[in-house]
Amino acid sequence: MSLPGLDLDKLRGKLGDGPLSAELIEGGRSNLTYVVTDGTRKWVVRRPPLGHVLPTAHDMKREYRVITALKDTAVPVPGTLLLCEDTEVLGAPFYVMEFMPGTPYRSRDELGKLGPERTRAIAFSLIDTLADLHAVDPASVGLADFGRPEGYLERQLRRWGKQLDASRSRDLPGIDRLQSRLAERLPSSTEATILHGDYRLDNTLVLDDRITAVLDWEMSTLGDPLADLGLTVAYATREAPDDSVIANVSGAPGYPGTDEVVDHYARRTGRDVSNLDWYIAFSFFKLAVITEGIYYRFSQGKTVGHGFDRVGALVEPVVAQGNATLKEN
């Protein structure tokens, strides 16, 4: 039986001759991910959302390229098997990668069941893996042209400001102040690395308390590595209920505090993290804009599902966290 966006009869010609079955991996809010099996082997198929008409925003070739490039590095990624740009097969470009065992932990309750020691080990493995990613020389893996690192932070702030304007339908106390303060204190990036762009615990798989695969590379590029670290910290400390539509691991017993996480990254990489507050505050701004966009779509009747009716109340606390992080000079 085929699923929306996945024609198993047409896919079969790409993977073998036997009958296929599939299931949609729940939890993703953007690109669609399926586990496909012939009863013996398993694969993962990833494609853009249904009805999508702007391929540059969900570039399967780009995702496939970065995962393939990282294959022989210390960064754990699935093996890539096939990139298909023929839209006659599934209606959109897609790629196939190997199935990797592991769990994407999404909430403090899920981590809490593991106990403090295991949670702590997982958190440090997450940061070690990020340090490994930022240690990869882009040119050495064929990714020297994977992004435009010059002016990266300025473009990011401008981009998310435009996203805010596109979703603005109500008063959001503090968000304009946060945006202006970020613009006033924009750091000067001195280094460019490969960025994941959305690095958080539930975009990885965990097995035996270690990160065994980093997934969801759709926002990857070249840019300031502290942008990844700041977002990881923001995701791990944002204030949200466990049943929120956005992942939340804050408060899990054993999860290290921000200072410990940042110190661990600094020791692993040797980077100056003294200005990290800006990156964390920017990440809260970005998360607030993303969450407000979800609320806006829900208020317009364009999003349905569990938890979306409460998403609007999550925005103000995130804005407040951003302003609190960006301390007054």
Q: What pLDDT is attached to residue 48?
A: 84
- What's the CA gap between 185 and 217, in Å, rounded? 29
For residue 52, report the phi and psi dihedrals to the nearest 5 degrees.
-70, 135
For residue 33, report the phi and psi dihedrals to the nearest 5 degrees.
-130, 130
**Domain 8-98 in this protein, CATH class:** alpha beta
pLDDT confidence band for 67 (50 / 70 / 90): very high
pLDDT, tens only, 163-221: 999 888 888 999 999 999 999 999 988 789 999 999 999 999 999 999 999 999 989 99
Q: Give whole-number Cα distances, 84 to 10, 22, 216, in Å.
A: 12, 18, 18
Give percent of the chain with pLDDT exceeding 70: 90
- Mean pLDDT lowest for which of 99-113, 223-237, 293-307? 293-307
pLDDT, tens only, 38-53: 999 999 999 987 764 4
pLDDT, tens only, 212-257: 999 999 899 999 999 999 999 998 887 655 555 566 787 889 999 9
**How long, in residues, is the chain?**
329
Kindly report the CATH number that applies to the domain delimited by 108-325. 3.90.1200.10
Q: What pLDDT is attached to residue 54?
A: 45
Over residues 306-317, the mean pLDDT reads 74
pTM exceeds 0.85? yes
H-state helical runs in 8-137: 8-15, 60-69, 87-90, 108-112, 116-135
Residue of 158, 144, 131, 159 whose CA lies nearest to 222 = 144
Contact 227, 159 (CB under 8 A): no
| Domain(s) of CATH 3.90.1200.10: residues in the chain | 108-325
| Domain(s) of CATH 3.30.200.20: residues in the chain | 8-98
Q: What pLDDT is attached to residue 311?
A: 74
